[in-house]
Homo-oligomer: A and B are copies of this chain.
Amino acid sequence: MKKFMNKAASMVAESLEGFVSAHDRLVVFGSDRKFVRRRHLTPGKVAIISGGGAGHEPMHIGFVGLGMLDAACTGHIFTSPTPDQIVAAIEETDTGAGCLLIVKNYDGDLMNFEMAAEAVTGRHGIETVIVSDDIAVPGPPRSSGRRGVAGTLVVEKILGAAAEARMDLAGLKALGDRLNTRIRTMGVALDGVTVPDTARSTFVLDPDEMEVGVGIHGEPGLSRQKLADADTIASMICNTILADIDLQNTDRALVVVNGFGGTPTPELYLIYNIVRRLFEAKGISVARSLVGTYVTSLDMAGLSVTLSLLDEEGLRFWDSPVSTAALQWSSPEI
């Protein structure tokens, strides 16, 4: 393991400090550095709050800003933030319209966000949207075991825009739950993750192997397979996604090809090029795309493909202005 760091124990705090310092016109630390929040809050807008373990950057701190999150709580690497952090974020960002919590479907995150929500009951209006887009988990469709992975950024972008448009808490909760049923993600890794604390890789692959159906915490995937070419990998991912989702004629698709941290951008574009064609060959209208490194697993070499089926409202919220460290556009790419 070689990393740019001083000590593993202080790595997250040092990196967060650098992040806030680099983006100090956009974000500030909350009290006691328990979370990162927008520098300028908007009175009367529902606050959108997310968070999770460190090691997935730029998610979630990179999504704090106009049109997306109001606050992000970061735990230690691959470890949920504490209820204490989440309570502080709620208390300091609720400007009167309540808070929507966006939580990735992991036991630790669920438990701590729920404890935080209970702790503020009566003082703050709270709703929670759970993201569970990862189809590479055995079990029935939409089983509670499905993890929240790269689709989380789609939910955060669209709900963030809806909140900016003054959608109320109940509306955001309903929109988020509906969105979650229309987003599917699958990931493939070419190598495991080296966790700074242990200095060990979470799984080891031979030079001719890949790990199919991985999450973003270094856990092994569904199966270990022989390394294949990009066409074969893309086809396997698309077919698995399409077998799991009901297509409706009116939907238009947002396709996200997301790198896990150690995969260069050109490889992501290469995969996007294949995936787009495969989806279009199935009659899907790929209306929007996002290709880059957004939801990571430290330095893992690998990528995921996310298919999000959006209606006109969803597309409009996706296109709405966003100004965060990791996503920025006024009108998208014009």
Using a CB–CB cutoff of 8 Å, the interface residues on chain A facing chain B are 1-7, 11-12, 14-19, 21-23, 25-26, 54-55, 57-58, 62, 65, 190-191, 207, 210, 227, 229-231, 233, 261-274, 276, 289-291, 293, 296, 298-299, 301, 303, 323, 325, 328-330, 332-334
With A262-B262, A271-B4 in contact, is A299–B301 under 8 Å at CB? Answer: yes
From residue A183, how far is it (CB to closest CB) to chain B in Å?
19
CB pair A263–B4 under 8 Å, yes or no, is: yes
Q: CB-nearest residue of chain B relative to A272?
A: B18
CB pair A57–B264 under 8 Å, yes or no, is: yes
13 contacts between A and B (CB under 8 A): A2-B190, A4-B190, A11-B266, A16-B269, A18-B272, A18-B274, A22-B269, A22-B276, A264-B299, A323-B329, A323-B330, A325-B333, A328-B328
The CA of A229 and the CA of B210, in the complex, are separated in Å by 32
Measured between beta carbons, the chain B residues less than 8 angstroms from A17 are 273
Measured between beta carbons, the chain B residues less than 8 angstroms from A227 are 2
The CA of A229 and the CA of B22, in the complex, are separated in Å by 21
Measured between beta carbons, the chain B residues less than 8 angstroms from A11 are 266, 270
The CA of A189 and the CA of B273, in the complex, are separated in Å by 30
Cβ contact of A329, chosen from B231, B328, B332, cutoff 8 A:
B328
